Amino acid sequence: MKATLIIVDDEPHARRYILSLLQKDIEIEILGECKNGREALELISTHKPDIILLDIQMPGISGIDVADSLKNSNSIVIFTTAYNQYALKAFETEAFNYLLKPFDEKRFFEVINRAKSIIQLKQRANFNNRIMRLFNDFNKSQSPQLTEFKIKDKGLERVIKISEVVYLEARSVYIIIHTKDKDILYRAALNLLEQQLPANFLRIHRSQIINLNEVTKYKYLNNNTFDFIMSNDQKITSSRSYKNQISNKLMESQN
């Protein structure tokens, strides 16, 4: 799979030089060229490129401003500039690398090839995640769906319907079933239980599964985590490792 790329530079000859270099690389797909920050933000929003070659000093919106707005994106930003005094500020934006003009072909492809290696690792990870989701979905389809919990309390059996559950929390060999009015201890493994839960239940942490029907509001925290406020007024913060799974599920629920 080719890595997608856009060129952002207000100088036409600089764009032509970069374009001439990139035409030698069959693993790169050039999505477009931009002559200022405004055009760059529009193109990035539309195409979400893997790599952005970004000049710093441009009229209007600078390259630094563009990069600042991309801190939570998956794009790799490589600055291309004639001004080395911007180096520290550039890396504060979490840029991947910094090409000081005039740069030669050798230096250019050292940076581009390093960026492509990172992209390939991400693509493999995304592929593996998709396979795991398919595997989990298959397991769920083969497992009988849970409709209730049967709890023994003081010698009596109590039934808690799955719709009453706000969220589930793992504690050693037990789980805590959190409802709106009480918490109940239940002996079960969260990993096995997850396969039997309806589609409105979402794992957001190694030890927590929430009922999306009981979420009153949620907020993305800009560090790959989410805060969920539940119907029992509990706030639960997700784990970073579940960011993609949560984002995909939330997008599905909005469609």
Q: What is the pLDDT of residues 50-92, one digit of tens each?
A: 999 999 989 899 998 998 888 777 889 999 988 776 656 656 6
Q: What is the pLDDT of residues 163-195, one digit of tens each?
A: 999 999 999 889 999 999 889 998 888 988 888
83/100 Cα distance (integer angstroms): 7
Q: Mind listing the domains of the chain with CATH numbers? A: 3-131 (3.40.50.2300), 145-254 (2.40.50.1020)
Report the percentage of the chain scoring pLDDT > 70. 86
Would you say residue 214 has pLDDT above 60? yes
Residue 195 contacts residue 144 (beta carbons within 8 Å): no
Would you say residue 255 has pLDDT above 70? no
pLDDT value of position 140: 53
pLDDT value of position 74: 82
Residue range 118-141: average pLDDT? Answer: 66
Q: What is the pLDDT of residues 187-208, one digit of tens each?
A: 888 988 888 898 899 999 999 9
pTM of the model: 0.51
pLDDT value of position 136: 61
158/182 Cα distance (integer angstroms): 13
37/127 Cα distance (integer angstroms): 32
Using CB atoms within 10 Å of the CB of residue 124, give its burial: 0 to 12 exposed, 13 to 18 middle, 19+ buried: exposed
Would you say residue 134 has pLDDT above 60? yes
Q: Are strands 3-8 and 51-54 parallel, antiparallel or unpaired?
A: parallel
pLDDT value of position 88: 62
Q: CA-CA distances (angstroms) from residue 127 to 33, 72, 120, 123, 231?
A: 29, 21, 10, 6, 35
Q: What is the pLDDT of residues 19-57, one digit of tens each?
A: 999 999 999 999 999 999 999 999 999 999 999 999 998
